[in-house]
Amino acid sequence: MLSFEENEQLVRTGPGTPMGTLMRRYWIPALFSTSLPEPDCAPVRVKLLNEKLVAFRDTDGRIGLFDERCPHRNASMFFGRNEENGLRCVYHGWKFDIEGNCVDMPSEPPESNFKRKVKIESYPCMERGGVVWAYMGPAELKPAFPELEWTLVPESHRFATRHIQECNWLQAFEGGFDTSHVSFLHRGDVPAGGDRVLPQRYEVLPKEFGFVSAAGRAGKPGELNWMANVMFMPFHKLISRHGGPDAAIGAHAWVPVDDENCMIYSIEYHPERPLREKEMERSKNWRYIHAEPIPGTDRTVANRSNDYLINRGVQKSGKSFTGMPGFGVQDCGIQESMGSISDRTREHLGRSDTVVIRLRRQLLEALNSMAQGLPLPGMRPESYRVRSAGFTLPESESFESSVDDFIRADARAPEAA
């Protein structure tokens, strides 16, 4: 279990908190590019790491992301006019460019130079993989963008969705790496037979980008079937490939909105070819994953307020272990049931929690490195050139000495136009 102090370090992400400071050293998904479909379109609200922000696309197509509060009288810039390469507050007409500079202050006398003394807190952005990414840390420490493979492939090679989860980012992130829950929580929703085979071995290998975790399940006599997942700092996962070397790869990112909500980005992609309709089916069929979204929101129909549409009849029949409709609903429902912020001082962890324990240690070690001014994991963009994998090894063969041959992705994918 974690101490109360350690738990607080990991779950709080607001300005000035240890984890908030760490996350601000990385590029963070803020919104889909399609949310800002054209130059001078309407601005949108964004909340990241407990900060209320506004995003807009200026006349030249560049993305701006800054504090929602106008520095004049704290009026919301969401109501601003997006015009002529800037967002203008409708209260008194103050206008700011994407770098937060005040470029017009019509409420002041023409001879005033006051506008040169006023800025709005802004964050640099870039677009990769159909997502707007923000860097919220110190300018002098800004890293190059990580070479996450799914952000580099053409648009036809990937499909992405997102939804909000009503709990702290860490318990959702941990749920993504919880190895043994699939055999229970998702029983009835995974391929026949695969939901009842518990892992025999667990492996977690530290890497420059984070770690590789895997569970080995019994296969043919003398063999283990390994499913290797990849953890990228600070909140990314590549899901082990099912269905052979030509199968699509799944990716997730658990992005803190505030301390009691997170945004989950879910991506299916293929490094070499366009996705087939069958490969996008689960992502497109929201009812299967986490129920359909409430129109105009990132909140799903199955949620805490309606007990995630649990069907006790289906649960009792054995068709579904939980009676909740699909992977995402099941994950959200159980993770949210742990409380908005889980009290980890009450836990009792076992061998099957190996990966969760390592995940927490990885984050605590990163916080310690930051506090000492040491290099952080995942700062070298090319270190992200790996893939998740599923493969079989003889029981006698070392997982550690073999795994790199299966997860390597040396060939850089072409960047989408």
Q: Once rounded to an integer, what is the mean pLDDT over residues 107-132?
A: 96
Of the listed ranges 181-185, 218-222, 274-278, the least confidently predicted one is 181-185
In a domain, 18, yes or no: no
Together in a domain, 217 and 354:
yes
Together in a domain, 79 and 210:
no
Give all strands of the β-sheet with 27-32 in edge-to-edge order: 27-32, 131-135, 125-128
**Does 414 or 14 have the greater pLDDT score?**
14
Together in a domain, 228 and 244:
yes
End residue of a domain, out of 141, 176, 192: 141
Pairing of strands 102-104, 223-232: unpaired
Q: Once rounded to an integer, what is the mean pLDDT over residues 121-133?
A: 98
Total of domains in the chain = 2
Q: Once rounded to an integer, what is the mean pLDDT over residues 20-37?
A: 98
In a domain, 93, yes or no: yes
Together in a domain, 134 and 251:
no
Q: Which residue range forms the structural domain that includes residue 87?
A: 27-141
- Sorted by sequence, the CB contacts under 8 Å of residue 89 that are 6+ apart come out as 70, 72, 75, 77, 79, 80, 95, 96
Separation between Cα atoms, residue 306 and residue 295, nearest integer Å: 17
In a domain, 21, yes or no: no
pLDDT above 60 for 108 = yes
Together in a domain, 256 and 328:
yes
Alpha helices in 179-311 (DSSP H): 277-284, 286-289
Q: Which two tokens stand for residue 31?
A: 């919104």
Together in a domain, 223 and 258:
yes
Q: Where are the beta strands (DSSP E) in 122-232?
A: 125-128, 131-135, 158-165, 201-207, 210-218, 223-232
pLDDT for residue 415: 43
Together in a domain, 110 and 132:
yes
Together in a domain, 122 and 202:
no
pLDDT above 90 for 416 = no
| pLDDT interval class at 167 (50, 70, 90) | very high
Q: Which two tokens stand for residue 312?
A: 């006790």
Separation between Cα atoms, residue 394 and residue 403, nearest integer Å: 13
In a domain, 349, yes or no: yes
DSSP 8-state class, residue 332: H
pLDDT for residue 62: 98
pLDDT for residue 240: 81
In a domain, 45, yes or no: yes
pLDDT above 90 for 173 = yes
- Any idea what the CATH number is for the domain that residue 102 is in? 2.102.10.10
Together in a domain, 218 and 278:
yes
In a domain, 31, yes or no: yes
End residue of a domain, out of 116, 141, 166: 141
Beta bridge partners of 128: 131
Closest CA to 353 of 206, 175, 223: 175
CA atoms lying within 13 Å on the CB side of residue 408: 8
Cα three-residue angle 336-342-347, rounded to 5 degrees: 120
DSSP 8-state class, residue 416: P
pLDDT above 60 for 195 = no
Q: Is the peptide bond before 234 cis (omega within 30 degrees of 0)?
A: yes
The overall average pLDDT reported for the chain is 89
Together in a domain, 96 and 116:
yes
How much of the chain exceeds pLDDT 70, in percent? Answer: 92
Together in a domain, 190 and 208:
yes
Separation between Cα atoms, residue 284 and residue 176, nearest integer Å: 20
Radius of gyration, alpha carbons of the chain: 23
pLDDT above 80 for 403 = yes
Separation between Cα atoms, residue 241 and residue 230, nearest integer Å: 11
Beta bridge partners of 64: 56
End residue of a domain, out of 141, 160, 186: 141
Alpha helices in 56-132 (DSSP H): none
User: 10 Å Cβ neighbour count for 400?
Assistant: 11
Biggest CA–CA distance in the chain, Å, is 85
In a domain, 330, yes or no: yes
Q: pLDDT tens digit string along 44-58?
A: 999 999 999 999 999
Q: Once rounded to an integer, what is the mean pLDDT over residues 64-91?
A: 98
Q: pLDDT tens digit string along 325-369?
A: 777 788 888 889 899 999 999 999 988 888 899 999 999 999 999
**Does 282 or 115 have the greater pLDDT score?**
115
- Any idea what the CATH number is for the domain that residue 368 is in? 3.90.380.10
Together in a domain, 400 and 371:
yes
In a domain, 11, yes or no: no
